[in-house]
Amino acid sequence: MTIRILLLILFVSFNLSIDASAEVLLKAAYIRNHQLWMKEGDKEIQLTTGRYVSSPKWSKDGQYIAYLASNENGEKTYLYIYDLKKKESYQPYPSIETSQIKWSPTSNQLAYNSRGILNVTKTKNGRPHGFENVSLGVSDFEWFPDGKAFIVSSQSNLLPTGWEPVRLFKVPVDANLDTNKIKPFYTIQTNTTDLFAIDADYFKWSPDGSWVSFLLAPTASWSNDSNTLAVLSSAGDQFQVIGKMLGYEKWIKWAPTINQLAFISGEGRFFVVNKSTTVTEIPTLNKQKDYTPKGYVDLDLEWLSPDEIIVARAKENKAWKVGPVPTMFTVLYVINLESGEQKQLTFPKNNKIDNTPQVVGSSITWYRTSEKEDQGDVWVKDSMDAQEYRWLKNVDSPPTFFIKSN
């Protein structure tokens, strides 16, 4: 009898240890009352005071959080880095206005844009510090997957004969402003009839690194209503136009393991109509497929698995014509791409709005707010069938989760 009890205890303990090891503790950086915070598991920590913080981004290994900080009016933004080991914020170089901060996919090196100058951090005492110039004339950029170079766009100029083409370049990390090291990568011939653009933004690589997607943006007023989603092969020899959409970076998502691209298609700056979840294989061998039912609009998306997508969906509002733009009260749905089945995932009450779905391991998270609130809460389901619970209260915007990469 004693042996049986001992074996039972060992069996239960073993299974509990498996469950504990399989459980992934959520770890996120976020902004509350303009300050940078972090939460890991159940522990919240405030990391900054007296600053107006934006754009927190995790380093590859999770030791650092880069962020931008400005004055109350947001007139100038400067780069800071929070070191989780030393528990301190520091500036990696003297105050230089900064935008578009992006960590290397392979190391703790940080790239940033400073008024059209692309720079990278050097290293001092094992952490990012100082900087080196890389290239001038940069509009937007993204690291190549190997961390050795950048794909860079340069905004075209208006000439007496019309707008120049949109040019993309491949820039080595160590270019150090040497134009001999910088090579043309692809030139996009544009015109005002079927493909008009003056810039390229929001570069995103496919899972295997063989394609990069980006938005081709026309002039400012026009871009509020329509931009062109395109893809380019990693060798710079195959270019394809995918479709028309608004200029929202989070509305473009590659599938987690295959070269399949999901985006929210549709023109028109108002969210009331004509916003559909669309999925296409890359290269576009087959016809694109829309998954948004008639009478609805999708206003955000996230891949749950290679065959499932989570969308933030609301009913269309065709009746609205003039006056204040109506609030779209979105809830989350899960779309099965294979079967076509669509299932409601969240059920917000009292005119709450569920948006910004994010998938971290097996956990599904989203941001829940209301029409008149400046802050919102972050809710979580540990799996599709689990009970939802509130993980963060009163945050200014959706969090940035740390997802450990290989």
Decide if 402 is inside a domain: yes
Domain membership of residue 384 (yes or no) is yes
Q: Is residue 367 part of a domain?
A: yes
pLDDT attached to residue 24: 66
Angle at 358 between CA 352 and CA 360, to 5 degrees: 135
Tokens 């969308």, residue located:
311
Cα distance between residue 201 and residue 225, in whole Å: 16
Which domain does 384 fall in, by range?
Answer: 346-406
Tokens 């948004």, residue?
A: 292
With beta carbons less than 8 A apart as the criterion, state whether 257 and 273 touch. no
pLDDT > 70? residue 2: no
The answer to whether 204 and 217 are in contact (CB under 8 A) is no
For 187-219, how does the pLDDT look when each residue is reduced to its tens digit (9 = 90+)? 999 887 789 999 999 999 999 999 999 999 999
What digits encode the pLDDT tens for the residues 357-380? 999 999 999 999 999 899 999 999
Instruction: Let me know: does 52 contact 74? Beta carbons within 8 Å.
Output: yes
Vertex 403 angle, CA 291 and 279, to 5°: 15
Dmax (CA) for the chain in angstroms is 94
pTM: 0.92
pLDDT digits (tens, 9 = 90+) for 95-132: 889 989 999 999 999 999 999 999 999 999 889 999 99
Flag whether 395 is in a domain: yes
Identify whether 203 is part of a domain.
Answer: no
- Side chain identity at residue 164, one-letter code: E
| pLDDT, average across residues 225-229 | 97
Question: In the Cβ-directed half-sphere of 370, how many Cα atoms lie within 13 Å?
Answer: 8
- On whether residue 81 sits in a domain, the answer given is no
- Distance, in Å, from the CA atom of 108 to the CA atom of 128, rounded to the nearest integer, reads 7
- Domain assignment of residue 363, yes or no: yes
**Tokens, residue 259:** 């070269």
Counting the structural domains of the chain, the total is 1
Residue 385 lies in a domain: yes
